[in-house]
């Protein structure tokens, strides 16, 4: 997805890699306004939930809510219009050799556990600049998951888009302190066990893992958009310590907070 918008704060760069026939891009969390006609098919993966308005293959502009860990597909020739005031980290894969990816209709919010793992491998390799990564194998496998189907978030189950949006707001407001699974479940009026099962089905992540991802996303924004000390950023994002934050950065992103800032 092509994005352009003035940013109030510094943000991470777009990270790119070319692997055989695959062009791979990691777009940072940032406001965007995109309008284009797709010249080739693209597979997308949303690391963050995001909200905005869009019209995909249609002239009807509607509100949208992208689910974290959701796959998306845009076929060639598809008209795309999408606007978001906050955006979200997004992985985009296209083939540059003219080979057609399967699929004729656009989709989004398709959750597939294998795709989640593959997308995280690609993100970590992009952030580390890993020359020896299995770029082509991971890209091909992710594209295959995109054509294999998956679970889309529906508004008829326990974890509706409205509930996910409410939960995101609750988490964002409380990132500076402890947040329990029990409190998240109570917010939505669900038992803890029911909430954990429904959340995993809807997002591909456990509530605890999702909370860590949100803390890391907040920390990344502060690392790039402020000169706060690492210890202060760790505290502001609800980590137990600077060392705890650094450990999770390396585990999930393959890079240290200090290296990301530099």
pLDDT for position 7: 37
* Same-domain check for residues 37 and 127: yes
CATH number for the domain that contains residue 53: 2.60.120.10
* Same-domain check for residues 145 and 185: no
pTM, two decimals, is: 0.91
* Same-domain check for residues 77 and 181: no
Bridge-based pairing state of the strands 90-95 and 79-84: unpaired
* Domain assignment present for 7: no
* Domain assignment present for 123: yes
Q: Is the pLDDT of residue 5 over 50?
A: no
pLDDT for position 3: 43
User: How would you class 72 by CB atoms within 10 Å of its CB: exposed for 0-12, middle for 13-18, buried for 19 or more?
Assistant: buried
* Same-domain check for residues 141 and 175: no
More confident residue, 76 or 3: 76
Question: Can you name the residues that pair with 151 across neighbouring β-strands?
Answer: 111
Q: Give the mean model confidence (pLDDT) for residues 118-140.
A: 95
Q: Is the pLDDT of residue 9 over 60?
A: no
Q: Are 161 and 67 in contact (CB under 8 A)?
A: yes
Convert the pLDDT of each residue in 150-197 to its tens digit: 555 555 578 998 999 999 999 999 999 999 999 999 999 999 999 999
Q: Give the mean model confidence (pLDDT) for residues 38-63.
A: 94
Cα–Cα dist 245/5, whole Å: 30
Could you give the angle at the alpha carbon of 17 between the alpha carbons of 250 and 206, nearest 5°?
Answer: 40
pLDDT for position 262: 83
* Same-domain check for residues 71 and 177: no
* Domain assignment present for 2: no
* Domain assignment present for 3: no
Indicate the residue among 123, 149, 175 that finishes a domain: 149
Indicate the residue among 94, 119, 149 that finishes a domain: 149
Mean pLDDT taken over the chain: 91
> Distances in Å between the alpha carbon of 176 and those of 38, 47, 170, 203?
40, 21, 12, 23
Structural domain that includes position 82: 15-149
Convert the pLDDT of each residue in 68-117 to its tens digit: 999 999 999 999 999 999 999 999 999 999 888 888 899 999 999 999 99
Bridge-based pairing state of the strands 32-37 and 50-56: unpaired
Cα–Cα dist 64/224, whole Å: 27
pLDDT for position 157: 74
* Same-domain check for residues 137 and 199: no
> Distances in Å between the alpha carbon of 14 and those of 11, 197, 242, 253?
9, 34, 26, 15
The domain total for the chain is: 2
Q: Is the pLDDT of residue 35 over 90?
A: yes
* Same-domain check for residues 89 and 210: no
* Domain assignment present for 116: yes
Give the whole-number percent of the chain exceeding pLDDT 70: 93
CATH number for the domain that contains residue 237: 1.10.10.60
* Same-domain check for residues 124 and 233: no
* Same-domain check for residues 142 and 24: yes
Indicate the residue among 91, 123, 149 that finishes a domain: 149
* Same-domain check for residues 191 and 103: no
* Domain assignment present for 8: no
pLDDT for position 149: 58
- The CB density around residue 10, as the number of other CB atoms within 10 Å, is 11
pLDDT for position 147: 78
* Domain assignment present for 92: yes
pLDDT for position 190: 96
* Domain assignment present for 50: yes
* Same-domain check for residues 118 and 240: no
pLDDT for position 102: 84
Q: Is the pLDDT of residue 8 over 80?
A: no
Question: Can you name the residues that pair with 210 across neighbouring β-strands?
Answer: none
Helix (H) or strand (E) holding 79: strand 79-84
Convert the pLDDT of each residue in 193-250 to its tens digit: 999 999 999 999 999 999 999 999 999 999 998 889 999 999 999 999 999 999 999 9
Q: How much of the chain is helix, strand and coil, in % rounded to 5? A: 40, 20, 40
Cα–Cα dist 130/135, whole Å: 9
* Same-domain check for residues 136 and 23: yes
Crossing angle of helices 161-173 and 207-225, rounded to 10°: 50
> Distances in Å between the alpha carbon of 46 and those of 59, 87, 179, 227, 245?
23, 10, 23, 28, 23
End-to-end CA distance of the chain: 26
């Amino acid at each position: 997805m092509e994005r352009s918008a003035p940013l109030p704060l510094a943000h991470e760069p777009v990270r790119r890699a070319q692997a055989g026939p695959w062009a791979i891009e990691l777009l940072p969390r940032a406001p965007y306004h995109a309008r284009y006609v797709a010249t080739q098919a693209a597979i997308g993966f949303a690391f963050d939930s995001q909200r905005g308005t869009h019209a995909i293959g249609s002239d009807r502009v509607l509100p949208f809510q992208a689910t974290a860990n959701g796959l998306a597909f845009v076929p060639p020739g598809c008209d795309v219009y999408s606007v978001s005031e906050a955006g979200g980290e997004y992985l985009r894969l296209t083939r540059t050799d003219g080979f057609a990816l399967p699929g004729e209709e656009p989709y989004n919010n398709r959750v597939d556990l294998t795709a989640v793992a593959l997308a995280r491998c690609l993100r970590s390799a992009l952030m580390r600049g890993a020359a020896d990564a299995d770029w082509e194998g991971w890209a091909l496998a992710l594209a295959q998951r995109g054509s294999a189907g998956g679970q889309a978030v529906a508004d008829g189950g326990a974890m509706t888009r409205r509930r996910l949006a409410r939960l995101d707001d609750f988490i964002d407001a409380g990132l500076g302190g402890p947040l329990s699974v029990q409190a998240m479940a109570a917010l939505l009026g669900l038992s803890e066990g029911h909430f954990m099962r429904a959340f995993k089905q809807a997002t591909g992540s456990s509530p605890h893992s999702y909370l860590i991802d949100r803390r890391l996303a907040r920390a990344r924004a502060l690392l790039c958009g402020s000169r706060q000390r690492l210890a202060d950023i760790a505290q502001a994002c609800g980590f137990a310590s600077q060392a705890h934050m650094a450990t999770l950065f390396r585990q999930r992103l393959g890079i240290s907070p200090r290296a990301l800032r530099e």
